[in-house]
Amino acid sequence: MNLESFILGVIASSLRVATPLIYGTLGELFCERAGVLNLGIEGTMFMGAFSGFAIAYFTGSAELGILGALLIGALSGLLMGFFSVKLGVNQHVSGLGITLLLTGLSLFLSRVVFPEFRVLPSIENIPPWNPFGKLPWLGQIFQQYWLTYLLILILPFVWLLLFRTNFGLNIRAVGENPEAADGAGVNVYQTRYFALAIGGSLMAVGGAFLSVAQLGAFSPGIIAGRGWVCIALIIFANWRPLGVLWGGLLFGGVFALELRLQTIGLKLPYETFLALPYIVTIIALAFAGRRVTGPAAVLKPYKRE
Amino acid sequence: MKFKFRIERTPSPLWMIALLPVFAVVITFIISMLILQIAKANPFEAFYYILISPLSSRTSALEVLVKATPLILTSSAVTLAFASGYWNIGAEGQFFAGAITAAFLGTQVGGLPSYLAIPTMFVGAFIAGMIWAFIPAWLKVKMNVDEVVTTLLMNYVILFFLSFLLNGPWRDPVSGWPQSPTIADSAVLPKLLERSRLHLGFIVAILAIIFVWFILSRTSLGLRMRAVGRGKDAARFMGVNIGQTLFLTALISGGIAGLAGVTEVAGIHFHITDAISDGFGYTGIIGATLGNLNPFGAGLAAIFLGLIATGAQSVSRSMNLPVYLGNVVQALLLLVTLSIILMRNYSIKRVT
């Protein structure tokens, strides 16, 4: 294998691997910017992967699968809202509870819906799209799924929404200082619910990308901690959309390099490469940890007096 | 005659608080009914197999305690951490650290008598759990890195380490199964009762509850821990060394979670596979929360969670429902309890 095709291969798979991470982290961005740490992310991505797959299997339409996952993700966000906004209970525990519930529910339903399969069936996944044809380099890199290309639109849209609209200003206000926002006439509860619903749907689409687009299959190990990597990524990204893009690509690169290095056959146990992204995440946090602080109202429930 | 009620923000009467767990269980099962509808199963039959059937015979009732043993340990570990303001979500990884150590030491202590071999494994697993908890604790105290994410990620790292051991040095040379060699006879935890799998690990789990209670409420370290748990700013003002307290909390919590690894390896399976944990570390978070961060409450909650886990197996055998029903019910119980616990602060008054 020559160096050029190796590098192009790593870049192409970085984009692929980064896609679910970027969707998940953008989802978490909405939640945390509005003042809620959503540890339901792992379960929401898992539920998105399962529901997207199941809907695509029974309707025969991958697009409907993605759409269904999006709606279910929004419901998961609203459930997090019920606990963190309406009841104002501990966000760590309620978020983990949602992850445990959605993970268990997905596994339970997968056995109920596909009882006759010992191994879950696979579906015709969404084919990748290659806009550059046989052009050198670009043609080799851009063989991606449409959900990856869609990020080119979503990222600027998220930035505009958060930093150039009233709605985005409200989200950031309730995440920094809900008392002041309330005083200025912002409906804190409603804004947080909206942000959590948007966040949940983005997370679920990230999960559905894996099952519906990339793999065409669902398995219990499909998310494998990617949600927690997103929670780390957002710190790394300093709670900014552009940072999410760079962070996602960097982490995608680490995952992709790990896959490629395995195929070259370096003399290391393959588990070393599998563990590498998690270890790199921890090290990255150690470097990012000191200098960053998130939105001030995260973890603090708001009670209107 | 007309009755009018209103809800007031005053603490509930004691009988109400005592009834809250009952409400929580009832509401959990009402929600579970909806899920069982999807599976086209009779909910009352399913509830019978989950809650009643395990208690209907001596063997299965003792099996509840067997299932509860690792959960009591992880629930105590999480209780200590959460009560002290350290969000240790890594009990799962610390459990695996203890289990790997027990599987290793268990094969090495064949020459020793049981009264030396078994304590060696428990001490080794405690230290291993502490080591696995050390990295997130150090990052938290020295580098100000949020422990929630790092403890979670460490859970995945150790799974890959175990997978490496099972596919490499520990792979069974004859069968090729990814499972570690069987531990020595002297390392096997003795049974407590005839015709039952209940083993010494259950006693260790009970001792762990008492240990956590003792630390939290009878030592000066525990006083500092609870002060940090109530609020870091106030604790700092009182002159508590926050970093040191969090660090010790993390290590002790990790060590206790590591002990659960011994009970499973040396009490039940006698070797380790990558399927040895049914999410014990995460269920420990449920146990600690249901127990209201009280070690004795956590112990009782863990036994109840053990009942659900045993019941899930019996419902799966008898009604051919996926065993994951147990995980769903446990998670629902956590979320319902979180909501219902708020009712402690309210009471219903009749308006006259």
- Global pTM value: 0.94
Residue A144, strand partner residues: A129
Tell me the two tokens of residue A214. 């990339």
CB B94 within 8 A of CB B257: yes
* Radius of gyration (C-alpha) of chain A in whole angstroms: 19
pLDDT tens figures, B184-237: 999 999 999 988 899 999 999 999 999 999 999 999 999 999 999 998 889 999
Q: B332 exposed, middle or buried (CB, 10 Å; 0-12, 13-18, 19+)?
A: buried
Q: What pLDDT is recorded for position B251?
A: 98
SS3 A123: coil
Q: How far apart are CA B316 and CA B323, in angstroms?
A: 5
Q: Which residues of chain A lie closer than 8 angstroms to B339, CB-CB?
A: 83, 87, 89
Q: Percentage of residues in chain A with pLDDT exceeding 70?
A: 96
Report residue A129: phi and psi, to 5°. -120, 130
Place of tokens 């290659």: A130
Q: Which residues of chain B lie closer than 8 angstroms to A109, CB-CB?
A: 38
**From its phi and psi, is residue B172 left (phi > 0), alpha (psi between -120 and 50) or beta?**
beta
Place of tokens 């998220």: A158
Tell me the two tokens of residue B68. 């509860």
Q: A29 exposed, middle or buried (CB, 10 Å; 0-12, 13-18, 19+)?
A: buried
CB A231 within 8 A of CB A51: no
Q: What pLDDT is recorded for position B290?
A: 93
Residue A217 DSSP symbol = B
Place of tokens 């748990």: B229
Mean of the per-residue pLDDT values of chain B: 93
**A91-105, A107-121, A137-151 — most confident range:** A91-105
CA distance B144 to chain A (A): 6
Q: Which residues of chain A lie closer than 8 angstroms to B153, CB-CB?
A: 225, 228-229, 232, 278, 281-282
Q: How far apart are CA B222 and CA B249, in angstroms?
A: 9
- CB within 8 Å of A46: residues ≥ 6 apart: A99, A102, A103, A106, A207, A222, A223, A227
**Helix %, strand %, coil % of chain B (to 5):** 75, 5, 25
Q: What pLDDT is recorded for position A236?
A: 86
Residue B7, strand partner residues: B348
pLDDT band at A289 (very low <50, low <70, confident <90, very high): low
- In this prediction the ipTM stands at 0.93
pLDDT tens figures, B75-122: 999 999 999 999 999 999 999 999 999 999 999 998 999 999 999 999
**From its phi and psi, is residue B40 left (phi > 0), alpha (psi between -120 and 50) or beta?**
left
Name the closest residue on chain B to residue A108, using Cα atoms: B324
A228 touches chain B (CB under 8 A): yes
Tell me the two tokens of residue A51. 């529901």
Contact A96 B89 (CB under 8 A): yes
Q: B66 exposed, middle or buried (CB, 10 Å; 0-12, 13-18, 19+)?
A: buried
Q: A interface mutation test: which of B86, B100, B150, B290 has the most A CBs within 10 A?
A: B150
CB pairs under 8 A between A and B: 130
Contact B139 A39 (CB under 8 A): no
CB B96 within 8 A of CB B279: no
A269 touches chain B (CB under 8 A): yes
Contact B160 A275 (CB under 8 A): yes
pLDDT tens figures, A211-232: 999 999 999 999 999 999 999 9
A87 touches chain B (CB under 8 A): yes
Alpha helical stretches, state H, B49-196: 58-83, 91-108, 114-143, 147-167
CA distance B163 to chain A (A): 7
Name the strand (E) or helix (H) holding A129: none
Q: What pLDDT is recorded for position B262?
A: 98
CB B276 within 8 A of CB B183: no
Q: Which residues of chain A lie closer than 8 angstroms to B160, CB-CB?
A: 271-272, 274-275, 278
Helices (H) and strands (E) in chain B, counts: 13, 2
Tell me the two tokens of residue A215. 């793999």
CB B322 within 8 A of CB B313: no
pLDDT tens figures, A157-174: 999 999 999 999 999 999
Angle at B335 between CA B334 and CA B340, to 5 degrees: 100
Contact A278 B286 (CB under 8 A): no
Name the closest residue on chain A to residue B150, using Cα atoms: A282
Say which of B157, B289, B335 has its CB closest to residue A275: B157
A114 touches chain B (CB under 8 A): no
Q: Can you say how many angstroms the Cα of residue A94 is from the centroid of all Cα atoms in its chain?
A: 19
pLDDT tens figures, B309-328: 999 999 999 999 999 999 99
Contact B324 A274 (CB under 8 A): no
Burial A260-282 (b: 16+ CB within 10 A, else e): bbeeeeeeebbbbbbbbbbbbbb
Residue B349 confidence (pLDDT) above 80: no
SS3 B169: coil
